[in-house]
Amino acid sequence: MRGMDGLGALGATYLSDIAAAADEAALEALRIALLGRKGAISLRMRALGGMDPEARRAAAPALNGLRDEVEAAFRARRAALADAALAARLAAEWLDVTLPARPRPAGTVHPVTQVMDELTAIFADMGFAVAEGPQVETDWHNFDALNIPPEHPARQEHDTFFLHRAEGDNRPPHVLRTHTSPVQIRAMLARGAPLRVIAPGRVYRLDMDQTHTPMFHQVEGLAIDRELSMAQLKWVLEEFCRAFFEVEGVELRFRASHFPFTEPSAEVDIRCSWADGQLRIGEGESWLEILGSGMVHPNVLRAGGVDPDRWQGFAFGMGIDRIAMLKYGIPDLRAFFESDLRWLRHYGFAALDIPALPAGLSR
Ligand code: DAH
């Protein structure tokens, strides 16, 4: 057997092999080769047993020392490899959560949704809450309660879709709502006065050409308070148009009109120009009709459970698709509902740009 020096040189080799083990597997192979049952150090330990006591006493301490040193080196190397593995993993999985989100996800927001979000933000700023009603509506809510009795000519003008009823089914007749005005009734019945709501949503009429589709969108507005007048209605609508069209100089024209549910009634036009075939809002000599409005008829207040001797209201109704076409220069209404991906990509809005007044509505 070699003396102390031989063991020392051997130990140095072992230690440098251990320190150089590149990974867990190499380290384990080395451990078996040295400390395993037939490992080099184990064999030497076992050989001590066959020595005479004096030789054993001389050889054992150095061998024990070597074994302890080698075991410590294994522990240290194992810990170093684990640290390096963790560091590599942390580096690989590192993520900067402060990076801005991807500017343009694959999907886009439909112009109708965008405009609904925009007008909701504008009216919310003026204290209007969002109200909702069903698209399958009783004809009482859609007509009677809005001061349109059965024989009223307005019923014919609405091109109504009626729901089929089996014979003997005597639930009240239902229609696909032809306007968002029935939400006025539902909001009054549910919330009472005073009240300030808008109701954007789908409506249906049997009509189809370049400017009409059987389903389209309206937004209803209703304000009820002790003293409300056309002056406040006009201010609210002007304020809305200025914010919505993002033009300072919007000019509105109120034209006397007639709706069964308002008295007096006015249709509202917006000043625009069509120079070079391009629509410009707020300048020029043309007028575009954008909405109907008026002071809520006492019969309508009554149908909503609101006392017309104590409360007054103004209301308005506006085509959402139409103002979307005007604001964003979209020529054909029918394309809105054809789900053509090229159209959606072209006219759609970035999903993460939620309209808000302080940031500007349509960045
Ligand atoms: N409901 C009407 C329509 O669909 C629009 C309308 C006009 C609504 C005047 C109103 C209003 O609230 O006051 O043609």
Q: Give the domain ranges of the chain.
A: 2-92, 109-350
C-alpha 329/C-alpha 150 separation (Å) is: 39
| Closest to 225 in 3D by CA, of 141, 296, 313, 306 | 313
114 lines ligand 1 (CB under 6 A): no
pLDDT of 137 > 50? The answer is yes
**Segment (H or E) for 221:** strand 215-225
316 lines ligand 1 (CB under 6 A): yes
pLDDT of 208 > 90? The answer is no
109-350 in CATH: which number? Answer: 3.30.930.10
**Segment (H or E) for 320:** helix 320-328
Ligand 1 binding pocket mutation candidate from 188, 205, 261, 322 (most atoms within 8 A of CB): 261
pLDDT single digits (tens) 44-75:
999 988 899 998 998 899 999 999 999 999 99
C-alpha 29/C-alpha 269 separation (Å) is: 87
* Cα 293 to middle of ligand 1, angstroms: 6
C-alpha 293/C-alpha 265 separation (Å) is: 6
| Closest to 221 in 3D by CA, of 324, 126, 287 | 126
- Banded model confidence at residue 3, pLDDT cuts 50, 70, 90: very low
pLDDT of 5 > 70? The answer is no
C-alpha 227/C-alpha 314 separation (Å) is: 10
- Banded model confidence at residue 1, pLDDT cuts 50, 70, 90: very low
259 lines ligand 1 (CB under 6 A): yes
pLDDT single digits (tens) 148-175:
998 888 787 778 999 988 889 888 889 9
Cα separation values, 49 from 61, 119, 338, Å: 14, 93, 92
Q: How far apart are the first and last CA of the chain?
A: 86
> What is the position in ligand 1's atom list of the atom closest to the CA of 179?
4
Lowest-pLDDT range of 92-101, 105-114, 195-204, 212-221: 92-101
| Ligand 1 atom 3, closest CA | 179
* Cα 181 to middle of ligand 1, angstroms: 6
Residue type, 296: V
Task: Enter the pTM of the model.
Answer: 0.71
> What is the position in ligand 1's atom list of the atom closest to the CA of 222?
12
According to DSSP, the β-strands at 129-130 and 195-204 are parallel
Position 2 scores a pLDDT of 44
Query: What is the residue-averaged pLDDT of the chain?
Result: 91
5's tokens: 């020096």
| More reliable by pLDDT, 280 or 348 | 348
217 lines ligand 1 (CB under 6 A): no
Are residues 123 and 361 in contact, defined by beta-carbon separation less than 8 angstroms?
A: no
Are residues 139 and 157 in contact, defined by beta-carbon separation less than 8 angstroms?
A: no
Position 99 scores a pLDDT of 83
